[in-house]
Amino acid sequence: MKDPGQYDRFTRVNCQQKHDDKCIDVIFGWKKKEGEEVSEIQALRYDKKIWTEASARSHCKSRGGTFEPASTEDKASAIRGDLKMRWYEIKAKKEGPAEIWIYDEIGYWGIGAKEFIIELNAIDNPKIDMHINSPGGEVFDGAAIYNAIKRHPAEVTTYVDGIAASIASVVALAGKKVIMAENAIFMMHNPAGLVIGTADDMRKTADVLDKVRETMIGAYMTKSGKSDSEIKGLLDAETWMNADETKAAGFADEIGDEMDLAACAKFIPSMQKMGFRHIPRDLNAMKRMPSERDLERILRDAGCSSKEAKSILAKGYEAHLRDAGLPPDSPKAPEPPRDAQPPKPAKKDKVNDLLIRAERLAPSH
């Protein structure tokens, strides 16, 4: 790695090579420059399960880098947090809610639930805002984190900023209130694992996965009020939901503002390799339908007062058009003389135009 001390934090993006179909992790270092946070490629990480040392050295050299095998000391340093390469960040504040940011795969970088819970238990703020954008991760770490957050005396509000998938969807439900960004995604599926060994080893793993599944079902039932069979059906189907669907299912309490979907798009390639069957081709296609609040905002932007906008929506737009025309018993307007100037085109109905535009922007189902 370069000089890690010059960066404030690190993030990781999994990238697939175009020619040899191998994946590498690109480590970005973030620091403040002229008042703005900027990123630089700090290192490339080659997984020993995918790359041989010779191929990794060659690839690194072709990009002008210097290859250095990771040492035990480097790994220990990352675990201690000296390099700040974490999938989470916890900020305790003197005023206002403490903050938890889970913006990567849970349990990554060799940092598990133990380190997270130690930092969590050090928070003495009465409120915690937990932000999640995670594809999941280590299921046992996630389950331990869920339980630790539920036990914490603070009032926790969860904000799903991008994606809460797999075990991250369970962690999200640890909050007393769950707020989904209007274009966020919630995904739940049955736990999976990999084991190499005898038939007995595999049977033991299957038993463990069944127990984990029951823990997940309990968390989903507690939040949503759904039955055991309903939750099992959602897990079996590998269910992907947008914000409206998540709220309707009882897993979210409120829908917040729209977020940048690039924050969760980076996880899709790695999730595809993990074998998920129903990953949406276009994340934007899962965007929620415009709500009454959205349409009211459009009408107010068009110049309507709040009262007028609410009236139009309450009556329905067709009623609004009828109200704008002549009453049914009004006398027919006289025809203009033949030599008269043609009437000026009617002024464009701005309200109608904006509502039509909102309907076109809404995703089709």
Going by the DSSP 8-state scheme, the letter that residue 192 receives in this structure is -
Q: HSE of 181 in the Cβ direction (CA atoms, 13 Å)? A: 21
What would the two tokens of residue 74 be? Answer: 């480097």
Question: How far apart, in whole angstroms, are the C-alpha atoms of residue 365 and residue 352?
Answer: 23
Give ∠ CA 270-82-74 in degrees, rounded to 5.
70
Question: How far apart, in whole angstroms, are the C-alpha atoms of residue 288 and residue 212?
Answer: 31
Name the active-site residue from 59, 131, 134, 166: 166
In sequence order, the 6+-apart residues with CB closer than 8 A to the CB of 70 are none
166 is catalytic: yes
Name the active-site residue from 169, 189, 224, 320: 189
Question: How far apart, in whole angstroms, are the C-alpha atoms of residue 2 and residue 285?
Answer: 40
Per DSSP, what are the bridge partners of residue 39?
Answer: 30
Going by the DSSP 8-state scheme, the letter that residue 253 receives in this structure is S
Question: How far apart, in whole angstroms, are the C-alpha atoms of residue 252 and residue 172?
Answer: 9
For residue 13, give the amino acid letter. Answer: V
Give ∠ CA 147-90-192 in degrees, rounded to 5.
45
CA Rg value for the chain: 27
Cβ proximity of 183 and 256 under 8 Å: no
Can you list the alpha helix ranges (DSSP code H) found in the chain?
53-62, 72-80, 113-121, 139-151, 167-172, 199-224, 228-236, 243-249, 262-265, 268-273, 292-301, 306-315, 317-324, 350-361
311 is catalytic: no
Question: How far apart, in whole angstroms, are the C-alpha atoms of residue 192 and residue 169?
Answer: 15
The catalytic residues are 166, 189
